[in-house]
Amino acid sequence: MQPAWAIYLESDFRWAIFAPTVPSTPIDPHMDLHLKDKVALVTGGARGLGQAICLGLATEGAHVAINYCRARQRAAALADRIRATHGGDAIAVQGDVAEAENVARIFEQSEHRLGPLDILVNNAAVWPRAYVREMTEEDWDRTLAVNLKGAFLTCREAVRRWLAAGRGGRIVNVSSAVAFLGSTTGHAHYAASKAGLVNFTVSLAREVAAQGIYVNAVAPGMMRTEMALDALETNQAGYLQRIPLGRIADPAEVANTVVFMASDRASYTTGATIDASGGMLMR
């Protein structure tokens, strides 16, 4: 029996008994994320933040489908490494997330090898540079297609499968601090796609919360990955000025937040976008 609280209501001349407000499962003081044998699909998982997320999930005991578009060798090497050193299974799955038929195939290959999916991480993105005055329609369309439509297609596929099977699941969408700040460096299309992803996260979270499907996002600031390499080479000091923690993130630091949000430890959070920006965002 859980203890209850009794409060004397002076206006009513009576005692009121309040039921305890504790979670249905006991609070575990350990940081075991309970991801052992969960199955996760990470888009753009072969390098950068995606790779760190795959390794983070594998470290917690999950089996990982590593989606890649062009980085075939890196994806295969990462899958080998996870199988050899983490104890879980891993598979590299090729596919452009902007194409619906590719997305269906990515899920089929993943499920065929690893079983039904528990976790989807939408990490794949492109970050082309062009100020609006010189931006082509192709630039705009491709950025929105990979960063936003790609996440829609994978979320739709995951949600359809979970609803059909009557099971819950967890989605983490990788957005960006620029979703809230806007871009000052010629990435308006990217910023718009990431802002769209934040709002899409909220809408989908509302749609499927009752079915036990959690949908959250993480907003990184600046990380040391290939995406940011040129920008950091030319303007590291400018970025550092805007980061209260005073340093560029290692992708593994942001991956930790993503992995936590992919776990049942984040059991009372859905529709949220978690800031992992070294304080750049502080909304």
Ligand X SMILES: NC(=O)c1ccc[n+]([C@@H]2O[C@H](COP(=O)([O-])OP(=O)(O)OC[C@H]3O[C@@H](n4cnc5c(N)ncnc54)[C@H](OP(=O)(O)O)[C@@H]3O)[C@@H](O)[C@H]2O)c1
Give yes or no for residue 195 binding ligand X (CB under 6 A): no
Give yes or no for residue 54 binding ligand X (CB under 6 A): no
Site string for ligand X, 228-267 (x = CB under 6 A): x---------------------------------------
Q: How many angstroms from the chain centroid is the CA of residue 87?
A: 23
In the complex, the smallest distance separating the C-beta of residue 214 from ligand X, rounded to whole angstroms, is 19
Are 241 and 272 spatial neighbours (Cβ–Cβ below 8 Å)? no
**d(C-alpha 270, C-alpha 170), whole Å:** 9
Query: Of residues 34, 70, 112, 206, which one binds ligand X by CB under 6 A?
Result: 70
- Name the strands in the sheet holding 213-220, side by side, starting at the edge strand that comes first in the sequence: 90-94, 63-68, 39-42, 119-122, 169-174, 213-220, 273-276
**d(C-alpha 45, C-alpha 64), whole Å:** 9
Span from 61-69, 112-120, 257-265, 266-274 in contact with ligand X (CB under 6 A): 61-69
Query: Of residues 35, 64, 69, 213, which one binds ligand X by CB under 6 A?
Result: 69
In the complex, the smallest distance separating the C-beta of residue 96 from ligand X, rounded to whole angstroms, is 4
Query: Of residues 103, 192, 222, 261, which one binds ligand X by CB under 6 A?
Result: 222
Span from 11-19, 32-40, 64-72, 82-90 in contact with ligand X (CB under 6 A): 64-72
**d(C-alpha 50, C-alpha 214), whole Å:** 20
Which residue number, 68 or 107, has a Cβ lying nearer to ligand X?
A: 68
- Active-site hit among 190, 214, 239, 268: 190
Burial class (CB in 10 A: 0-12, 13-18, 19+), 244: exposed
Helix (H, G, I), strand (E, B) or coil at 61: coil
Give yes or no for residue 225 binding ligand X (CB under 6 A): yes
Query: Of residues 223, 255, 258, 262, which one binds ligand X by CB under 6 A?
Result: 223
Span from 9-17, 21-29, 90-98, 131-139 in contact with ligand X (CB under 6 A): 90-98
**d(C-alpha 281, C-alpha 277), whole Å:** 6
Backbone angles phi, psi at 254, to 5 degrees: -75, -35
Strand 63-68 and strand 119-122: the pairing is: unpaired
In the complex, the smallest distance separating the C-beta of residue 89 from ligand X, rounded to whole angstroms, is 20
Span from 9-17, 41-49, 83-91, 263-271 in contact with ligand X (CB under 6 A): 41-49
Backbone angles phi, psi at 215, to 5 degrees: -130, 115
**d(C-alpha 127, C-alpha 142), whole Å:** 10
190 is catalytic: yes
**d(C-alpha 118, C-alpha 38), whole Å:** 6
Query: Of residues 35, 48, 64, 171, which one binds ligand X by CB under 6 A?
Result: 48
Give yes or no for residue 196 binding ligand X (CB under 6 A): no
- Residues belonging to the active site: 190
Residues in touch with ligand X (CB under 6 A): 43-44, 46-50, 67-71, 96-98, 123-127, 146, 174, 176, 220, 222-223, 225-228
